[in-house]
Amino acid sequence: MATKYIFVTGGVTSSLGKGIISASLAKLLQARGFSVTIQKFDPYINIDPGTLNPYEHGECYVTEDGAETDLDLGHYERFLNVPTSQANNVTTGRIYHHVITQEREGAYLGKTVQVVPHITDEIKRRMLLLGQTGEFDIVITEIGGCVGDIESLPFIEAVRQLRWDLGVHESCVIHLTLVPYLKAAGELKTKPTQHSVRDLSEAGVQPDILVCRSEYPIPADVRKKIALFCNVNQNSVIESIDAETIYDVPLLMRKEKLDERVIAKLKLPHRADPNLDTWKEFLGRLKNPTSEVNIALVGKYVELPDAYKSIIESFVHAGSANECKVNIKWFQSETISDENVASLLQSMDAVLVAPGFGERGFKGKLEAIRFVREKNIPFLGICLGMQCAAVEFARNVLKLEGAASTEMDPETPHPVIDMMEDQKQITQMGGTMRLGAYTCELKKGSRAYAIYGKSKISERHRHRYEFNNKYLPAFEEAGMVATGINPDTGLVEVIELQNHQWFVAAQYHPELKSTVLNPHPLFVKFVKAAINHAKTK
């Protein structure tokens, strides 16, 4: 069968959860036996989110092939258990960059290069790319931003043209809107939805299905009104009520028959009802924990939890696997000092030091690590967290005064963390780090080997600085051992502390590979260590 295309747009306001709705619909279609992928088109002019401040846009999610992408791709992978790639995230910046490069090379034969047709043709080409691989029955395309924004107009225009090109029943548009509840009037208001659909219709795209976000159930008469004013069938007005957890959304959408509406619209063969047994088991364990732990997350972007989205979700997956409720306690690393570290962290069952860039909050992270190392509290360090663990050990155990990362102190006498040689020549910021999946070999007999249960693993990276192997013999002699090594470069990937109940730090980002069906072993065992520590306190 020819690939079918679903477009998900949003109106009224951003952050309504287009990514979760797209991932939930994909999950339902996948559970019916269709092969599905999701792509995100973002209307900003950055080439990718790699250079964006996490406060602006949440975390930057890295794919297997090393693309720095939007955090929604993390949701796609966690729900579908299928890796995404460079092709799954496209920005306006990348579209324009491609078209302008083509123009400079003379590809348009002297024609005037315009938004229509040149920009929209390039958007359409990219919207169809994944469908042309022959791997997918259905491609879901999420259009970022809000209908009515200037920057999303070329994307909406591309959707209008594509629907015409593809023909009837080959595509479907789902529009996500807000139905707010006005306390003073005591009722749900449909006007924002009407305006949003009108904006979309004015751009030439009529939605087939409306998914209405609301804090309260939407009664039949309100649905009827929305259907009447927005030119959709009443059974295509879908309620999306605030859920206890994002992992409830596929089941809520199933109840609302979103997948059935899509199947009818696209004239898809009616395969078996979705098999969601393992999903329900996961939710059952998540909602009925037998134990509870408090885990500290020490980072510098803690005011915006979305900056650590994948880590939070990894704890959800690992918590369910251990039938344990994981309470994440947020600690701004800038506020941690020698004086207050004990009062802040001594009641914690485990401590994670988060990834990040730059000097801000670096000292606080070192203090937190010193405390957990000395007090034998389970510890997991990720990326910069691993580098901090190395610096702390060098300073306080090896007594190397002034030991640091050259990222924080270029003049340090002991660069235990240093920039890779091939990075020193790079001046551009975007996409120039060590990115994507790399192999790592784990030493037999180590804690890391026991955690993974195998010696060869592949994990995703996003960093410029590495452990300086010149210091490795001194570290190992003092009890901090490199138990994960990249076989091609000899670079240190995992360090762990002997004579400590659970102290593991990784240069890579394990959180990027944790999914509902495959919770990441590092997080699963870290939560287990926290449960054990809680029992002995």
Residue 193 annotated as part of some ligand binding site:
yes
- Note if 511 is an active site residue: yes
| Set 122, 367, 459, 511: catalytic member | 511
Residues in CB range of 72: below 8 A, 6 or more apart: 18, 19, 22, 23, 40, 61, 142
Residue 386 annotated as part of some ligand binding site:
yes
Residue 40 annotated as part of some ligand binding site:
no
- Note if 509 is an active site residue: yes
Backbone φ and ψ of 249, nearest 5°? -60, -45
Residue 490 annotated as part of some ligand binding site:
no
Residue 375 annotated as part of some ligand binding site:
no
Residue 238 annotated as part of some ligand binding site:
no
Q: Which two tokens stand for residue 295?
A: 């885990």
Residue 133 annotated as part of some ligand binding site:
no
Per the CB < 8 A criterion, the answer to whether 275 and 30 are in contact is no
| Set 75, 175, 509, 520: catalytic member | 509
**Distance (Å, whole) CA 18 – CA 180:** 17
Determine the angle formed by the axes of helices 309-321 and 72-80, rounding to 10 degrees. 20
Residue 423 annotated as part of some ligand binding site:
no
Residue 112 annotated as part of some ligand binding site:
no
Residue 39 annotated as part of some ligand binding site:
no
**Distance (Å, whole) CA 496 – CA 353:** 14
Residue 415 annotated as part of some ligand binding site:
no
Residue 454 annotated as part of some ligand binding site:
no
Return the DSSP state at 131: G
**Distance (Å, whole) CA 7 – CA 265:** 13
- Note if 520 is an active site residue: no
User: Which uninterrupted H or E stretch holds 120?
Assistant: helix 120-129
**Distance (Å, whole) CA 20 – CA 8:** 11
Q: Which two tokens stand for residue 395?
A: 């300073």
Residue 407 annotated as part of some ligand binding site:
yes
| Set 146, 212, 324, 383: catalytic member | 383
Residue 149 annotated as part of some ligand binding site:
yes
Pairing of strands 415-419, 465-467: antiparallel
Three-class secondary structure of residue 181 per DSSP: strand
**Residue list, annotated binding site for CTP:** 14, 149-151, 189-194, 225
**Residue list, annotated binding site for ATP:** 15-20, 72, 243
**Residue list, annotated binding site for Mg(2+):** 72, 142
**Residue list, annotated binding site:** 14-20, 55, 72, 142, 149-151, 189-194, 225, 243, 356, 384-387, 407, 464
**Residue list, annotated binding site for UTP:** 14, 189-194, 225
Known catalytic residues? 383, 509, 511
